[in-house]
Structure 1
């Protein structure tokens, strides 16, 4: 009997499309594997366009949330209904569950359905959520050091849900009916055009949307040298934004054919429409990933709290423009009073980039205020973004490359094929001094953890003395963690340590104490390896050996 895998992904359209590489990687790992997916009922149409799925299982999770908030039923009754719905899935006896939704309800559902191998959020013995699989844990950590992360969400899904393997592009099916509809829709334009580009000026969150007037002026500059058609896409709620774009475009002298398809397409028809276009100019949106899935080049305007390295267009041949601003990208929970990042992207530059992708001009040069990136696939078969016309030689760039290699080798037990940096960062001496300054505190924490382990193994441990040890340790830990989070040479592994300490849902005081002691020693080994690298510049083989040795014994709670 073929293996069976269940994926839980009940969040957004883009997250569903971005698991396409995972689906391909599962087939590489287990040829013929049967893969099912649980999605919110609203996104069933998206899932139906993804190749490699046996069964699409839907539930109205939004109604579950709404009913819970409105107290339509008791929480017990709501979860009883959900359990009854999920009972047939228990009987399928999945070999693996991959939970890509990191919340407590999904953790409960994953644990209820059950599998020998659960990756992502699951429920511990005490009802709390824990994260199994080091790549899934990395996903929960990376938002704390976003500037240093170099893994696209697509690859995190694939590495965590399966493992390393051959590059596989995102893929979305274009149905014949959708293709026919799209061609008829474009042909019905009052003004004929030989070719079309798609533009999405809106977004689900205004924080990550470039200004409508900037879109309008960009398209005007484009029309001076390219005479194809422009089709505007988006949700019905984006009609006001689209009207602003068209008004600015016409007032500034734009004369190319313009069609408004926003709110006029089914999902299948939208995919068909994107497939007929030369490119998509867009904010970070779900349709961006759909365009990637039908191999249409994307120009991604990465503003607001969007970090393109996390969710940008995946694979080769796409472009990203990101403003250079000390606060960019901002935090997810941050409310911005100025949105000045959106004014760092010159409309003439974006128009020149459009022309370049359309083979009508040279690539625009680098300039202060923004960075231009081209997407590709690196030597490890992962998504990559290379800065165009900009020297990536800052300490931040160096550490980003270092952590990219470190995490890949540590979490996959595989040597990276990317050439190793032959230099150290400019702040190497200061970083090594910082790490050395952390060691006395960490050594003391390790001794305290061992003392707590010893105390918990006594026949009748003294609650008072044990609590005193824990209070002393907590106070010192908070101080050393602050040190670790203050420097890019230590913040990623310090974040990982903090998560492992708090993810201590093990049964028994003695086991919890041993879990903590392992976490402290692992943290120390990681920092020692980094310090050694900065001071001795170990060879590639040495780095690989160190990465293998530092694989976490506490990647998840038992």
Structure 2
């Protein structure tokens, strides 16, 4: 049997977003092995039951209760195991030092993505090109499709996640992700939750998140009326991976910023109402598949770079604090949507998941559609004769080395 190794050493959401690549490799007849950080091993085995999961210590110190680090011992053993498996292909998705070290175990001709050749770090031509697409983040593709396109014969986007359908189990609320600027403060979030509950027949509310969000959850509860608190279950910091999957799978709706739990909901077919602001942009990291809604902050500085300070006093948060947004969530009428926000719904197209405007404005839609067609032709999904030529895009995104090596479409 052919074997493929997928190395995904980043976080919760990225693990879930590797799904299209993994399903593509499985359909191509590979036995898929998945290398993850050990904190995600249990989740990986739940999400990808047909994969062989290998767990490294990629994050944290690996120090046990006695103050002794086990990082070297654990990782050395895993490296030995992986080196002794005859993999036909290795998909190395991240550009960390650990990823590069791991890639050096294998014949570089078998490694796709990021690798080391003669001590030099090298990106796959597709990754190199995709980094250039990222200079136009409003027109960028979903990261699920970015990783999946490393493999030929990608499965259709519609085959990745179920169409989102309410599960009749209440409303889930995720307080925050890793980046605080992407999240809604508890006093801004509370009225939106009440509005969604009103629109969903006063269903129960479930607060979800890790232990680091406990205080935020308590503050949120303080903003809810007593009659609502009695119908609210606080699960923040109280669920393991299995319990989180069970909780999210039955929800009518998950309300969340750009978080790993959002991607888990999409994986399970649970409808998402996402709130995207600051550095989060739905075309890049929105919930994957059909049937999700994103309320996107859209300003001239959006999306920003999360590693850089905000010099605009986080003005993209302002519209979420407008009382009309709660009215919009209840009525879904465009006239109630505050200025500075746009509403998108997720669909599947020839390339992957795309977001279609439902309210507000989308001044970049034509540019985004054109770039998607360009990428589709580059990947051989669309016919260049029908959709091309793309002289202005080829001139911008292709470099001389692409013309020399042939790693580009003919324009």
Same fold per superposition (TM over 0.5) = yes
1:409 aligns with 2:400: no
1:62 aligns with 2:55: no
* Equivalent pair of 1:169/1:314 in contact (CA under 8 Å): no
1:94 aligns with 2:91: no
Structure 1's 97 and 519: CA in aligned 2 closer, same or farther, altered over 3 A? same
Structure 1 residue 131 displacement after superposition:
1.0
* Equivalent pair of 2:324/2:338 in contact (CA under 8 Å): no
Number of positions where the alignment pairs a residue of Structure 1 with one of Structure 2: 401
* Equivalent pair of 1:104/1:128 in contact (CA under 8 Å): no
Instruction: Output one character per residue of 1:411-435: Cα deviation in whole Å (capped at 9) or x when no partner.
Output: x123259x959xx9xxxxxxx9xx7
* Equivalent pair of 1:202/1:209 in contact (CA under 8 Å): yes
Q: Indicate the SS of the match to 2:381.
A: coil
1:384 aligns with 2:374: no
Which residue pairs with 2:401 in the alignment? 519
Structure 1 residue 64 displacement after superposition:
6.3
Q: 1:129 pairs with 121, 126, 134, which one?
A: 121
Q: 1:244 pairs with 216, 219, 235, which one?
A: 219
Structure 1 residue 228 displacement after superposition:
1.4
Q: 2:345 pairs with 367, 374, 391, which one?
A: 374
Q: 1:160 pairs with 146, 150, 163, which one?
A: 150
Which residue pairs with 2:203 in the alignment? 228
For residues 129 and 322 of structure 2, the distance between their equivalents in structure 1, rounded to whole angstroms, comes to 37
For residues 49 and 354 of structure 1, the distance between their equivalents in structure 2, rounded to whole angstroms, comes to 33
Instruction: Output one character per residue of 1:351-378: Cα deviation in whole Å (capped at 9) or x when no partner.
Output: 45654xxxxx545445521110000111
Instruction: Output one character per residue of 1:505-532: Cα deviation in whole Å (capped at 9) or x when no partner.
Output: xxxxxxxxxxxxx528569x99xxxxxx
Structure 1 residue 223 displacement after superposition:
4.7
Structure 1 residue 51 displacement after superposition:
2.9
For residues 153 and 333 of structure 2, the distance between their equivalents in structure 1, rounded to whole angstroms, comes to 36
Structure 1 residue 5 displacement after superposition:
0.2
Higher share in helix? 1
Aligned counterparts, 1:136-215, within 5 A: 136-149=127-140, 151-170=141-160, 195-215=169-189
Structure 1's 111 and 64: CA in aligned 2 closer, same or farther, altered over 3 A? farther
Structure 1's 363 and 97: CA in aligned 2 closer, same or farther, altered over 3 A? farther
Which residue pairs with 1:26 in the alignment? 25
* Equivalent pair of 2:262/2:272 in contact (CA under 8 Å): yes
For residues 117 and 258 of structure 2, the distance between their equivalents in structure 1, rounded to whole angstroms, comes to 35
Structure 1's 286 and 222: CA in aligned 2 closer, same or farther, altered over 3 A? closer
For residues 259 and 310 of structure 1, the distance between their equivalents in structure 2, rounded to whole angstroms, comes to 32
* Equivalent pair of 2:205/2:231 in contact (CA under 8 Å): yes
Aligned counterparts, 1:318-329, within 5 A: 318-329=292-303
Structure 1's 416 and 258: CA in aligned 2 closer, same or farther, altered over 3 A? farther
For residues 295 and 118 of structure 1, the distance between their equivalents in structure 2, rounded to whole angstroms, comes to 32
Structure 1 residue 315 displacement after superposition:
0.5
For residues 228 and 402 of structure 1, the distance between their equivalents in structure 2, rounded to whole angstroms, comes to 42
Aligned-residue Cα RMSD (Å) equals 3.5
Q: TM-score, normalised by structure 1?
A: 0.64
Listed as ranges, the gaps of 5+ residues in structure 2 are none
Moved more, 84-93 or 15-24: 84-93
Structure 1 residue 100 displacement after superposition:
1.1
Q: TM-score, normalised by structure 2?
A: 0.86
Structure 1's 390 and 206: CA in aligned 2 closer, same or farther, altered over 3 A? closer
Structure 1's 199 and 354: CA in aligned 2 closer, same or farther, altered over 3 A? farther
Higher share in strand? 2
Instruction: Output one character per residue of 1:207-250: Cα deviation in whole Å (capped at 9) or x when no partner.
Output: 11012111112223345553211111111111121122221222
Q: Indicate the SS of the match to 1:316.
A: coil
For residues 268 and 44 of structure 1, the distance between their equivalents in structure 2, rounded to whole angstroms, comes to 12
For residues 396 and 61 of structure 2, the distance between their equivalents in structure 1, rounded to whole angstroms, comes to 36
Which residue pairs with 1:481 in the alignment? none
Aligned counterparts, 1:265-304, within 5 A: 265-304=239-278
Rg: which structure is higher? 1
For residues 277 and 111 of structure 2, the distance between their equivalents in structure 1, rounded to whole angstroms, comes to 35
For residues 50 and 61 of structure 2, the distance between their equivalents in structure 1, rounded to whole angstroms, comes to 25
Q: 1:108 pairs with 101, 104, 111, which one?
A: 101
Structure 1's 520 and 354: CA in aligned 2 closer, same or farther, altered over 3 A? closer
For residues 48 and 403 of structure 2, the distance between their equivalents in structure 1, rounded to whole angstroms, comes to 44
Which residue pairs with 1:51 in the alignment? 48
